């Protein structure tokens, strides 16, 4: 394990672009990527000629960085990569490119596309017929998405938990989505509606699972120094990556994981402990991933808000009943954009985008006044746990 962290506060997120997210998309993945990318580059006050690094996540049906570069009319690039989906693989790749000097202004594009395997509407769309999932076509499979239902059952068994904390995660996201024009679903969700939700993989129902959507996010990263110049010119706060990491345990095959008491989430949290000057008592905003609600309960526990199995009590104690959302210690809001459950299944790019909007003061109706720092924790239990402290700077 390393204690070295020379990248601390050295890379800035200066450009944000997003198409918003929809259940009724009719654009190509490339078109969505280009809308988000051009918005992000323009948002940073840059042009195609300034971009010398392109990172494009390897989502199904998404185009690679070379095709993005061609479509955007980029002159030349000295860094290009195609990381795995889930937001911080791309964020870290781009940040490390900037920090190492491989490139000065790196574009990240992250389209997400509904597939025939997760949407009836998508299955009926001939333009998506060739899109393939890596999920095995057999019922008796506790890998990929199904693993989260299996381990949710184990969590309930070990801790005697009820579905109450799961419901609060789903309702919090839906409540917050109401103020987010990018969100796919904004109708209010009640405890009664949650309880009546269609069971998909018991114990998880339709409201425990993120929302397949079409859309794209894009980001531009540059050096902290240049980031401050750009922010200053635009009358915003600069936003820096303070500490960031991914983490896995070696024995990470979903149904072979020894237990929820030792997952990649623990590895991420311990690495952030070693490298971050900011901790959970300091933050103004928390963005735990909720691709499945069980993931969020684990993040609350593993980052240290409460002990293992303590999420049920913690979420109840920190629930604002009037607002129907979480307010940690009456102050720290959670997934202010509506998260993957209601904004849409962005694999965490929405969580990062929203954190940056809040910290630089461009979150519109959702703005938390004076927000200084945020913790973002994308990813689940097995292959993709990730975390970052972002701060004004």
Partner 1 sequence: MPADFEDDSATDDTALIARFGGHGIDRDSAAHFRGRLERRLLIHRCDDCGRWHHPPRPMCPACWSWNITPTEVSGRGRIHLLMTLHQGPPASGVDYADGHPVVTVELEEQPALRFTSTVADGFPTDRLEIGTPVTLEWVDRDGTPTPVFGLGEDG
Q: Is 262 or 331 the residue whose CB approaches partner 1 more closely?
A: 262
Nearest of 215, 227, 221, 181 to residue 34 by alpha carbon? 215
Question: Site for partner 1 (CB under 8 A): which residue of 26, 76, 140, 365?
Answer: 140
Tokens of 105: 């202004």
Question: Site for partner 1 (CB under 8 A): which residue of 49, 136, 196, 323?
Answer: 136
Which of these ranges, 15-23, 137-145, 314-322, 353-361, lies near partner 1 under the rule CB under 8 A? 137-145
Nearest of 220, 219, 227, 226 to residue 392 by alpha carbon? 227
Tokens of 18: 């997003």
- Residues 56-85 vs partner 1: string with x where CB under 8 A? ------------------------------
Q: Is 223 or 252 the residue whose CB approaches partner 1 more closely?
A: 252
Q: Is 124 exposed, middle or buried (0-12, 13-18, 19+ CB in 10 A)?
A: exposed
Q: How far is the CB of 201 from partner 1 (least distance, A)?
A: 5
Q: How far is the CB of 253 from partner 1 (least distance, A)?
A: 6
Question: Site for partner 1 (CB under 8 A): which residue of 31, 102, 142, 368?
Answer: 142
Q: Does 298 bind partner 1 (CB under 8 A)?
A: no
Q: How far is the CB of 209 from partner 1 (least distance, A)?
A: 11
Between the alpha carbon of residue 137 and those of residues 132, 142, 158, 321, the distances in Å are: 11, 12, 30, 42
Q: Does 253 bind partner 1 (CB under 8 A)?
A: yes
Q: Is 149 or 170 the residue whose CB approaches partner 1 more closely?
A: 149
Region of 347 (left: φ > 0; alpha: ψ -120 to 50; beta: rest) is left
Q: Does 139 bind partner 1 (CB under 8 A)?
A: yes
Q: How far is the CB of 16 from partner 1 (least distance, A)?
A: 36
Q: Which residues contact 176 (CB under 8 A, 6 or more apart)?
A: 325, 333, 334, 335, 336, 337, 338, 339, 342, 366
Q: Is 30 or 156 the residue whose CB approaches partner 1 more closely?
A: 156
Can you state the angle between helices 29-43 and 65-72, rounded to 10 degrees?
60
Q: How far is the CB of 155 from partner 1 (least distance, A)?
A: 10
The CA R_g of the chain, rounded to the nearest whole Å, is 20
The count of chain residues that interact with partner 1, using the rule CB under 8 A, is 30
Q: How many CA atoms lie less than 13 Å away from 275 in the CB half-sphere?
A: 25
Q: How many CA atoms lie less than 13 Å away from 153 in the CB half-sphere?
A: 11
C-alpha to C-alpha distance for 35 and 46, rounded to whole angstroms: 15
Q: Is 140 or 321 the residue whose CB approaches partner 1 more closely?
A: 140
Residues between 196 and 235 with contacts to partner 1, criterion CB under 8 A: 198-204
Residue pair 225/215 in contact by the 8 Å Cβ criterion = no
Q: How far is the CB of 252 from partner 1 (least distance, A)?
A: 11
Q: Does 256 bind partner 1 (CB under 8 A)?
A: yes
Q: How far is the CB of 135 from partner 1 (least distance, A)?
A: 8
Which of these ranges, 55-63, 246-254, 334-342, 352-360, lies near partner 1 under the rule CB under 8 A? 246-254
Q: Does 375 bind partner 1 (CB under 8 A)?
A: no
C-alpha to C-alpha distance for 371 and 236, rounded to whole angstroms: 13
CA–chain centroid gap for 335, Å, is 10
Q: How far is the CB of 203 from partner 1 (least distance, A)?
A: 7
Which of these ranges, 255-263, 264-272, 280-288, 383-391, lies near partner 1 under the rule CB under 8 A? 255-263
Q: Cis peptide before 59, with omega less than 30 degrees from 0? A: no
List the 325-328 sheet strands across, edge first: 79-81, 53-56, 106-112, 215-223, 11-18, 239-246, 386-392, 373-377, 285-288, 332-334, 325-328, 319-320
Which of these ranges, 90-98, 139-147, 295-303, 361-369, lies near partner 1 under the rule CB under 8 A? 139-147
Q: Does 163 bind partner 1 (CB under 8 A)?
A: no
The residue ranges that bind partner 1 (CB under 8 A) are 136-142, 146, 149-154, 157, 198-204, 250-251, 253, 255-259
């Amino acid at each position: 394990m390393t204690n070295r962290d020379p990248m601390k506060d050295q890379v800035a997120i200066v450009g944000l672009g997003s198409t918003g997210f929809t259940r009724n998309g009719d654009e190509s993945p490339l078109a969505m990527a280009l809308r988000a990318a051009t918005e992000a580059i323009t948002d940073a006050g840059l042009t195609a000629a300034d971009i010398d690094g392109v990172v494009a996540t390897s989502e199904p049906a998404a185009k690679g960085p070379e095709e993005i570069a061609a479509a955007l009319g980029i002159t030349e690039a000295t860094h290009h990569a195609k990381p795995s989906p889930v937001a911080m693989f791309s964020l870290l790749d781009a940040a490390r490119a900037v920090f190492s000097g491989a490139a000065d202004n790196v574009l990240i594009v992250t389209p997400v596309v509904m597939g025939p395997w997760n949407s009836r509407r998508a299955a009926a769309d001939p333009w998506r017929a060739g899109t393939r999932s890596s999920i095995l076509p057999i019922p008796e499979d506790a890998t990929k998405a199904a693993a989260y239902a299996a381990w949710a059952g184990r969590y309930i068994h070990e801790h005697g938990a009820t579905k109450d904390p799961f419901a609060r995660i789903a309702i919090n996201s839906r409540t917050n989505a109401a103020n987010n024009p990018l969100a796919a679903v904004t109708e209010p969700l009640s405890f009664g509606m949650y309880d009546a939700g269609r069971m998909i993989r018991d114990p998880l129902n339709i409201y425990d699972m993120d929302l397949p959507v079409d859309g794209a996010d894009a980001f531009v990263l540059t050096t902290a120094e240049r980031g401050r110049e750009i922010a200053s010119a635009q009358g915003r706060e600069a936003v820096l990556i303070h500490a960031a990491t991914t983490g896995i345990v070696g024995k990470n095959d979903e149904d072979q994981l020894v237990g929820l008491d030792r997952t990649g989430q623990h590895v991420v949290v311990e690495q952030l402990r070693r490298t971050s000057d900011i901790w959970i008592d300091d933050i103004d905003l928390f963005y735990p991933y909720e691709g499945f609600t069980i993931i969020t309960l684990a993040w609350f526990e593993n980052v240290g808000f409460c002990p293992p199995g303590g999420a049920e009590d913690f979420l109840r104690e920190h629930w604002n009943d009037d607002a129907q959302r979480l307010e940690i210690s009456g102050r720290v809001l959670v997934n202010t954009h509506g998260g993957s459950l209601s904004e849409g299944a962005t694999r965490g790019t929405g969580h990062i985008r929203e954190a940056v909007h809040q910290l630089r003061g461009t979150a519109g109706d959702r703005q938390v006044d004076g927000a200084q720092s945020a913790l973002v924790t994308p990813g689940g239990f097995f292959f993709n746990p990730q975390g970052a402290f972002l701060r004004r700077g």
